[in-house]
Structure 1
Amino acid sequence: MDKDRFSAHGEVHAHYQSAQRILHIDLVGPFNFEFMQKYERVVGVQRKTIDTPCWGSLVNVYGLALAPIEAINAGQQIVSKAVALGLVATAVVLHESEGVAMQKKFWSRVYDSSTLAFEYFDDTAQATQWLCERVLAWQQAHNVNQFNNARR
C-alpha cells in the first residue's frame, strides 16, 4: 500500500427506490478524502441504474459528519456530476445530535456551490415527503410525465 495514501474513513451504503424516485444514501462519519472516492464508487453504481430524468437523494448521516477541505471540494464535484444526471433535490437527515451546527456548515459548503435544492431534517419521513414534492414540482415545471423514463 502507498504510504502517502490513507484508507477511507467512513461508511457508505446506497440503494435507489424507483417508485419514489429517491436515491437513499446512508453515511457513517467522520470522513476523509479517500472516503469521497469510495462514496463515488458506491453511489455511482446506483446512479447508473436511475432511468428517469429527475430524482432526489435522501442522505442519512450517522456519526459526526465532518471532513477536511479536500473532501469538501471532492463532494462539490460529486454533487455537480449528480445534478448533471438529473438530481433535483437532496434531503439531509442528521442523526447525530452532537455538532449539528458544524455538520450543517460542512454539508452547506458541499451543496451551496451548486444549483441543487437541499434541506436539513430531523426525521426521515419528513425528508422523504419534501423530496417527493421537489421531484414532482420539477416534473411539472418541465412537463415530464411520470412514466417518461428518458434518461438525460
Structure 2
Amino acid sequence: MSRIEFGAHGEVHAHFKSEKNILFIDLVGPFNLEFMQKYETEVGAERAKIAAPCWGSLVNVHGLALAPMEATQSGQAIVSKAVTKGLAATAIVLQEPEGITMQKKFWSRVYASSTLPFEYFDNSQEAIEWLTNKILACMQAHKLNPYTNVHK
C-alpha cells in the first residue's frame, strides 16, 4: 500500500539570539510526519547561522504537541544533526496542559536516543536559566572563554 502525501500540519518559527547563545523555537501542534520537513527547513536555516561552539534550544510548544510515531525517527535525526553542530541542551516549555503526560512521552522519545540533556519547564525564564548553565558548562568543558568563544 502506498503512502498518501499530506500537507504539513503545525507551525514553526525559529530565531537565534547570539547574545544568549539560544535558539528560540516556537511550535504550534498537533503535527504530522510532513511537518518534520517543514521544521527542518525553518529551524535548519537558523541553525546554519550559528557560529557558537556551544548553544542551547528553547522549544515553546503551543497546542497539542503530538505527532505520529513515524515522526519520532525524523525528530531523532534532527536532534542528532543539531548535536553535531554544537547543541548543548534543550529546554521544552509545554504551554498546553491538555494531554501533558502524552506530550512528554512523545518529546522524551525524540530525545531518548541521544545523550543531549533536555528538561521540561513551566515557563521560559526557568528554561533560559537552566540553558544558560548548560551552555556555560559546555564552554568550560571545551576550555572556551564564555565571553569570547575563544580557547583559554
Please give the range of the TM-score, normalised by the shorter of the 2 chains. over 0.9
1:74-113 aligned at under 5 Å gives the runs: 74-113=74-113
RMSD: 1.3
Residues 2-13 of structure 1 mapped to structure 2, 5 A cutoff: 4-13=4-13
Residue type at the aligned position of 1:63: G
Query: Does 1:145 find its partner at 2:145?
Result: yes
Partner Cα distance (1:25, 1:149) in 2: 27
CA distance in 1, matches of 2:4, 2:32: 14
Whether the aligned pair in 2 keeps the contact of 1:52 and 1:149 (CA below 8 Å) is no
Contact map agreement 2:57 2:87 (CA 8 A) in 1: yes
TM-score, reference length from structure 1? 0.94
Structure 2 runs not aligned, ≥5 long: none
Q: Distance in 2 between matches of 1:75 and 1:4?
A: 20
Unpaired runs of at least 5, structure 1? none
Contact 2:32 / 2:67 at 8 angstroms: preserved in 1? yes
Instruction: Output the TM-score relative to the length of structure 2.
Output: 0.94
Cα deviation 1:18-76 (Å, max 9, x = unaligned): 00000000000000110000000000000011001110000000000000111111000
Aligned to 2:36: 36
| Map of 2:16 onto structure 1 | 16
Paired AA for residue 69 in structure 2: I
1:121 deviates by 0.3
How many residue pairs align between the two structures? 148
The percent of aligned pairs where both chains have the same amino acid is 64
* Ranges of 4+ aligned residues in structure 1 off by more than 2 Å: none
